[in-house]
Structure 1
């Protein structure tokens, strides 16, 4: 299938590893100009050098100026982005009874405020062109809140509500807005959560992983490349009639439809 994104510019946030890197690599392989970014500037540049048409940008999106710096760097390299993939690390694991207002503010900064700022910067050019793709890497916790991840459940649900509202407002302009929800994907973040669960429960990390795999119908963790394939389709031209939805890539982990 021709994804119809050759020559398009794809800005993939937090793409120096894990899911973000896999998405950036696949979009670039499909002919998009890829903007690889993250705090690890040398890593971003190394990944970009491996791709047909890409630039690596060192940026900290948790600073006030970070989103603006990233959009400026994208415009200087390729012009305004056609594709914006919202991605980033989640808040620390914590039970609902173990959070305070400082935790809530930090969670909203990480999972909501920076993403909304990026959207506000990228959206006007998409609407003017009559074509755009906004895709957020969410969490299966949006569909079924996860134990010991109260801060992530809170922030990612808030972003989902914003993006669902936005999708209806910009659909007629040729801009789609979707979420892609990972389950247990083999990433550093998954390893962090498994380690936290092991420490909390007194089990080994291997025991936690085995217990997690037992809850997944596919009986394994997903690979970043599998998640990236789903992301690439949602960012494609053929996906133009899919908007305002949350798609799960979780091996059947969440049992609801």
Structure 2
């Protein structure tokens, strides 16, 4: 299947590792120009050098003005931004009672406001050209909040609500807006959460991992490549009638329809 991404330009934050890197590689494999952004510049340059048409941009997306600078850098190099992936790290584990007001405010900044700013920076050009894709990396916590992940629960759910509203506003302009909900994907972030669970519950990290896998019907963790394939499809020309949607990639972890 030709996804129609050859020659398109995609911006992918958090691309130095994990899901962001996997998405960048998958988009590049489909012929897209890829702008990789993250704070770890050394890794970005290394990864970008392995892709056919890539621009590494070292920045902290949470800093003031960084989302616009990222879109400007992509436009200067490739002339346009066609695909905007909303991706970034998640807050530290906290329960609803132990999280502070300051921590919750920070979570809303990093999980909602920064992504809103990036989408707004990329959107005018997309609407003008009549084609664009905004794909957010969410979490299964959007639909099933986790007990100790209140910052991620609240911030990503707020982003989902914002994007659902945005999707209806820009659909007639040829711009689709969707969110992919990863379950437990085999990344360092998930490994860190397993370590946090082990420390909190008194088991080993491997036991925490095994317990989590036992709750997944497929009986394993997902791979970053499997997740990236879903994002890439939603970013493609083939997904032109899919918008305002949340697509799960969780091995059946969420039991609701």
Give, in angstroms, the shift of residue 68 of structure 1. Answer: 2.0
Give, in angstroms, the shift of residue 127 of structure 1. Answer: 0.4
1:252 aligned onto 2:218: no
Q: TM-score, normalised by structure 2?
A: 0.99
Structure 2 counterparts to residues 43-54 of structure 1, below 5 A:
43-54=43-54
Q: In 2, Cα distance between the equivalents of 1:116 and 1:65?
A: 12
Structure 2 counterparts to residues 21-60 of structure 1, below 5 A:
21-60=21-60
Query: SS of 1:208's equivalent?
Result: helix
Q: Which residue does 1:135 correspond to in 2?
A: 135
Alignment deviations for residues 59-78 of structure 1 (CA, whole Å, 9 cap, x no partner): 10111021122112111111
Q: In 2, Cα distance between the equivalents of 1:113 and 1:107?
A: 9
Query: SS of 2:181's equivalent?
Result: strand
Give, in angstroms, the shift of residue 80 of structure 1. Answer: 2.4
1:90 aligned onto 2:65: no
Q: TM-score, normalised by structure 1?
A: 0.99
CA contact (8 A) 1:46 1:56 kept: no
CA contact (8 A) 1:11 1:35 kept: yes
Q: Which residue does 1:228 correspond to in 2?
A: 228
Alignment deviations for residues 137-194 of structure 1 (CA, whole Å, 9 cap, x no partner): 0000011111200110000000000000000000000000000000000111101111
Q: In 2, Cα distance between the equivalents of 1:119 and 1:182?
A: 20
Q: Which residue does 1:101 correspond to in 2?
A: 101
1:63 aligned onto 2:80: no
Alignment deviations for residues 104-149 of structure 1 (CA, whole Å, 9 cap, x no partner): 1110111011100001110000000000000000000011111200
Q: In 1, Cα distance between the equivalents of 2:72 and 2:134?
A: 18
* Runs of 4 or more above 6 Å deviation: none
1:16 aligned onto 2:16: yes
1:111 aligned onto 2:81: no
Query: SS of 1:80's equivalent?
Result: coil
1:191 aligned onto 2:196: no
Q: In 1, Cα distance between the equivalents of 2:194 and 2:109?
A: 24
Query: SS of 2:237's equivalent?
Result: coil
Query: SS of 2:56's equivalent?
Result: strand
Q: In 2, Cα distance between the equivalents of 1:2 and 1:153?
A: 36
Q: Which residue does 1:157 correspond to in 2?
A: 157
